[in-house]
Homo-oligomer: A and B are copies of this chain.
Amino acid sequence: MAKELVFGHQNPDTDAIVAAISYAYLQKQLGPDVEAVALGDPNEETAYVLKHFETEAPRVIKTAANEVKQVMLVDHNEPQQSVSDIADVEVSHVVDHHRINNFNTANPLFYRAEPVGCTSTILWEMYDEHEIAIPTKIAGLMLSAIISDTLLLKSPTTTEKDRQAVVALAKIAGVDYQSYGLDMLKAGTNLDSKTEAE
């Protein structure tokens, strides 16, 4: 099987970066040769998360067709939110929690969407369906993405499944999700590192 790239949307948030990492890990266990990449650098919140769970930021790409024929999308489906040359590659897999918009394919594909608060919640479910154990660091990353997307389970998009995922992932990662979550959200709004102009 030819290599594929896995990535989230432009101007990546924590879910976009982390879902690429965790879906790439899951796919690798199932067989496919994949690499998690990103369409931009981590924001401050995501940088805090990656540092906390000792994970390197994914390589940033500007285009995909120069490297691969097929790609896997996480946390988005709309072409205008995706890699600049999305029209020149085939989308083989999508895992997302947004509405479907302007997403058309020439061939059948794997598409998994659920109306939950975070892509990482769906991925948590998929690890379970495939009976693949989630490594400690990846569980911490996925937990962080759900905390980020749901504002610590307080956003109106939060579902019962997001709550279950947070509890289960916090256990694997070995963190108190309430106190860690507050620190993490604070890091994302860190005024110290902003310039005067902001």
Residues A111 and B113 in contact, CB atoms below 8 Å apart:
yes
At the interface, is chain A mostly helix, strand, loop or mixed? loop
Residues B102 and A113 in contact, CB atoms below 8 Å apart:
no
Q: A interface, how many residues as a size bin?
A: 20 to 34
Which of A6-14, A93-101, A186-194 is found at the contact surface with chain B?
Answer: A93-101
Q: Which residues on the B side are within 8 Å of A66 (C-beta)? A: none
Q: Which residues on the B side are within 8 Å of A113 (C-beta)? A: 108-112
Q: How many copies does the complex hold?
A: 2
Residues B110 and A99 in contact, CB atoms below 8 Å apart:
no
Give the distance to chain B from A171, nearest Cβ to Cβ, in Å: 22
A113-B109, A113-B111, A115-B110 known; A102 vs B99 contact (CB < 8 Å): no
Chain B's closest residue to A98 (CB) is B108
Chain B's closest residue to A92 (CB) is B115
Chain B's closest residue to A91 (CB) is B100
Residues B101 and A104 in contact, CB atoms below 8 Å apart:
yes
User: Counting CB contacts under 8 A, is A107 at the interface?
Assistant: yes
Chain B's closest residue to A117 (CB) is B108
Give the distance to chain B from A3, nearest Cβ to Cβ, in Å: 18
**Most chain-B CB neighbours within 10 Å: which of A102, A108, A110, A113?**
A108
Kindly identify which residue among B97, B99, B104 contacts A100, using a CB–CB cutoff of 8 Å: B104
A residues at B contact (CB < 8 Å): 97-116, 129
* 17 A-B pairs (CB sep. < 8 Å): A98-B108, A99-B105, A99-B107, A100-B100, A100-B103, A100-B109, A107-B115, A108-B113, A108-B115, A109-B113, A110-B113, A110-B114, A110-B115, A111-B111, A111-B113, A112-B112, A112-B113
The 4 A-B residue pairs with the shortest CB-CB distance in the complex, in nearest-first order: A108-B115, A111-B113, A99-B105, A129-B129
